Structures are given as structure tokens and as C-alpha cells.
Structure 1
Amino acid sequence: MNNNQSARQQYSFDEIYQQYTPLVQGMLKRLHIHSNHEDFLQAGYVGLWLAYQHHDGERGPFPAYAFLRVRGEMLAMLRKDANYYDRHSFSSNDQEPVDMAMSESWMSDVDTLAPYLNKLSDREQRWVIEHAVHDQAPRMIAAKYNVSVETVKGWRKGALAKLRKYVK
């Protein structure tokens, strides 16, 4: 491949696809991906397509660029999956995802919350009561206590971390 020409100028995507299929498949092994192979292969081929579309021969050789784009798409998908599983838990009965925010709805009144509130700071207790009992959003809680929304999010983060340890 001529270094000054883009991949599109020299080859059709079908040729690139055939030539770089081992790269995409090998990236699964390189990134230690053991499940959802078809989804990750698709992400890899999307990366290959993006590399084909955006390659500029003036900026460097296509193989290195293709490697980076394929790897980048697969890593992005890994991050998305990790974030999804961090934010959702699965019930043992039906294996359907349960949103963590919704699973806290059992805390409906202050009496139910009392044993848990003892483990929290005053500010974290405020967040739990305002959120769980009064169903207030962070911006509403911030306005009520005359603090920033980021401060309220800090209360939430601390409260949830402590509650998760206590509930487990």
C-alpha cells in the first residue's frame, strides 16, 4: 500500500475486509474477550469500516490505523458493558436486569430506613430521606438545602457506598 494514498483510493472495502479479518478476530484474543463474540466482532468490523473511511495516507500507514480503530471500538464496547453491569443487578429468578435506583424503592418511610440511617452522616441521611421518602431530584434537594447539585451528588455517592456495604 502506498503511504501517500488512503486505503479507499487503493482498495475496495471488500478487499480490506478479507485482508483484515484476522486482525479483527485476533483482537478478541488480545483483549481476552470470552463472551458475546459476535457483538464484539461486529464492533471490530465497525472500527475497520471507520478506519477505511477516515484513513489519510499523509498521516500514516493504514495497518496501524486499522489496528487502533478496531481495538478502540472493541474497548469502547467493553466499557459500555462494564458500565451497564455496574449500574444493574440481575435477580436470580428471571435474569432480567433490575435498575439499581428502582431496587431501592422498598425504602418507603423513615421507620423502615431507621436502621440504615444510623450508618450514614447527617448529609447522607438528608439525601436518603429526601430522595427515598419525598422522591426529590438532586437539583430539588440542592435548592432546599442551598448547596450545589454536585454536593448533593456527593451525598448520594457516599450514602449508596455505605448502604451497599451494609446491605451485603
Structure 2
Amino acid sequence: MHRMLQRLHIHSNHEDFLQAGYVGLWLTYQHHDGERGPFPAYAFLRVRGKMVAMLRKDTNYYERHSFSSNDQEPAQVRIETESWMPDVDTLAPYLNKLSDREQRWVIEHAVHDQAPRMIAAKYNVSVETVKSWRKGALAKLKKYMK
């Protein structure tokens, strides 16, 4: 296990990666089929795979999440991120190409940032109906944009 940490150039969180390796070894033991190949080769691949998967997961997490000091209040950050959302006036030229239901979906989704289940509850329709509104609106908007 420690040799695998060196091979993968893992320099921190050794205990977490060792645990992932042990899980990989345990899964190897559970799923090994002697007819398909020797145990050591399969164990090597399985342990390495678990560690690489954990490495990718950590890398993606740190790439997607920015960490900053506590200088800003969370409410201020939220206001800044919501400032890019369009309003109804911005969408007006596009809305006249859509049916009333498709317009509802665009406004609720783009302006009010509502999920399909929330829109469905508001208009007392099924989630699948809202998804059909979305499908129609996106198809018309794509055609309009070309």
C-alpha cells in the first residue's frame, strides 16, 4: 500500500488513501475469480483504481470550490452571485416566440431559479409536464438562436 502511495506521488492524507486501498483490497477479495487471472495482479489494479478515484475526487473538489478568508459575509457573496440572473425585460424578445406554458417555464427557471418539481407544485401539474414545457422551449429557442 505504501509503495502505491509513492507511485501515485501522494504526499498528504496518507491515512485516507490507505483506507481507500484497503477497501480496494477487500473488494478484490470479495469479487476475485481465479479463472480470470491471478489474485495479485487483480489486487494491484483494484487498489490502484480506488486510490486514483479518490485522487480525482479530491482534485475535482478543490478545483470547483474556492476557499477564501472570512472577510465577506455569506449574504454578500450570495447577492453577488445572483446578480447575473436575467430579469423578465431581458428575456422579453425571446419570450414572444414561446407558448404561454413555455414562457412560464423560462420565467420560473431563469428568473426565479426554480426546479421542475417546484414549478410543477406552483402550477399544479406533474413534473413530466414541466419537463415537456422545458423541452419545447429549448427547442424553439435553439431554432431562434440559429
Instruction: Give the TM-score category using the shorter length.
Output: 0.5 to 0.7
Structure 2 counterpart of 1:146: 136
Superposition CA RMSD, Å: 3.9
Equivalent of residue 58 in structure 1, options 35, 41, 49: 35
Distance 1:35 1:61, change over 3 A: same
Q: State the partner residue of 2:20.
A: 43
Q: Deviations over 1:16-68 (max 9, x none)?
A: xxxxxxxx111111111122111111000111111122112111111101100
Equivalenced residue count is 110
Segments of 4+ moved more than 4 angstroms? 100-103, 106-110, 129-132, 138-142
1:92 is aligned to 2:69: yes
Mapped pair 1:77 → 2:51: no
Of 106, 113, 119, the match for 1:135: 113
2:17 equivalent to 1:68: no
Distance 1:137 1:80 in 2: 26
Percent identity reads 68
Unaligned runs of 5+ in 1: 1-23, 95-99, 115-121, 123-128, 156-168
Q: Is the 8 A contact 1:40 1:74 kept in 2?
A: yes
1: distance between equivalents of 2:44 and 2:78?
38
Structure 1 residues 104 and 26: alpha-carbon distance in aligned structure 2, compared to 1, 3 A threshold: same
